[in-house]
Amino acid sequence: MSPNDGTVAGTGEFRLIEAVTAGRKQPESTLLGPGDDAAVVASPDGRTVASTDVLVQGVHFRLDWSSAEQVGRKAVAVNLTDIAAMGARPTSVLMGFACPSDTPTALVTELTQGMWLEADRAGIGIVGGDMVRADQIVISVTALGDLGGREPVTRSGARPGDVVAVCGRLGWAAAGLAVLGRGFRSPVSVVNAQRCPEPDYEAGIRAADGGATSMIDVSDGLLSDLGHIAEASGVGIDVRTADLDVSSRLTEVGTALGADPLKWVLTGGEDHAFAATFPSFAELPEGWTEIGVVTMPDSGVTVDGKRYGHDSGWQHWR
């Protein structure tokens, strides 16, 4: 391919890396950014929280449904919520990117622009990564975070009598996926919820400071992810549907598509809201809403006291 054909092969690996990193702003926590064998990131707490997610074209995103910038923002957001769910503050991300040789350079620069925009929204930097050839687009993001002196909030601390609470929207991304799957592109607010989540990265810190006993990022569906807490903690969890926010917009979309919006709220993933448990006497932090209670050991996850009769959320290879 010629050097001017507009593809990543024509641009070349090192010119492409320079194009997506040159002139980018880094926070003070980045002591050494892109350009060396490894990055150096400050960790004032002395402990580093780390998480990795992989997004595969056709599985996690479609470029006929989302812009490259939206895909880039989503790739960063889904990783940073895992950091926030531990009660930590994100500090940086590293990017692994693979694509076919004929991928347009403009698509890659737009995608990485989205990554930088989301990193900037979280107050962090992209400190390094790697680019390689592959048969399809694959994005791997590793996120790092700092606990700021807090103990990590894990999935295993819930106790019977704790209240269950959520922070963030539920069901919107699932509704957006249903709309896109029918070939529609509106309502835009619902469709964009699927294309690019907008998590509150401070929610996890507020929960940790508010005494959360367990916490998780809701990525695969509320019931599915609460099930992880229940299993790790050896408890049961009961969700009260009367306390869930089923917005009028979701109801409108559900009516139009012949779908139950409550099912989206209970089982839909990719909103990247947060779910946590708190002692019954605790005052819930700003933005958190009580939706249920932790019940007797090993009783599983129930809805209004009964087993839910549908799939509880997303699983790969199923």
pLDDT digits (tens, 9 = 90+) for 242-280: 999 999 999 999 999 999 999 999 999 899 999 999 999
Domain 163-303 top-level CATH class = alpha beta
Give the residue among 275, 6, 19 at the shortest CA–CA distance from 131.
19
Rounded CA separation 76/7 (Å): 24
DSSP 3-state helix, strand, coil percentages of the chain (rounded to 5)?
35, 25, 40
Give the residue among 124, 164, 159, 148 at the shortest CA–CA distance from 41.
124
For strand 289-295 and strand 300-303, is the pairing parallel, antiparallel, or unpaired? unpaired
Binding-site residues for Mg(2+), in ranges, read 37, 51-53, 82, 130, 217, 220
Helix, strand, or coil (residue 89): strand
Residues whose CB falls within 8 Å of the CB of residue 231, separated by 6 or more in sequence, listed in order: none
Binding-site residues for ATP, in ranges, read 129-130, 155, 219
Segment 96-104 mean pLDDT: 96
Residue linked to tokens 């896109």: 180
Q: Specify the pTM.
A: 0.91
Helix, strand, or coil (residue 221): coil
Burial (CB < 10 A; 0-12, 13-18, 19+), residue 316, is exposed
Give the residue among 30, 261, 45 at the shortest CA–CA distance from 149.
45
pLDDT in tens, 11-51: 888 888 888 888 898 999 999 999 888 999 998 999 999 99
pLDDT in tens, 172-199: 999 999 999 999 999 999 999 999 999 9
- The CATH architecture to which 8-146 belongs is 2-Layer Sandwich (3.30)
Binding-site residues for substrate, in ranges, read 60, 270, 314
Domain ranges of the chain: 8-146, 163-303
Residues whose CB falls within 8 Å of the CB of residue 271, separated by 6 or more in sequence, listed in order: 168, 169, 170, 171, 172, 173, 174, 193, 197, 218
First to last CA, the chain: 40
Binding-site residues, in ranges, read 37, 51-53, 60, 82, 129-130, 155, 217, 219-220, 270, 314
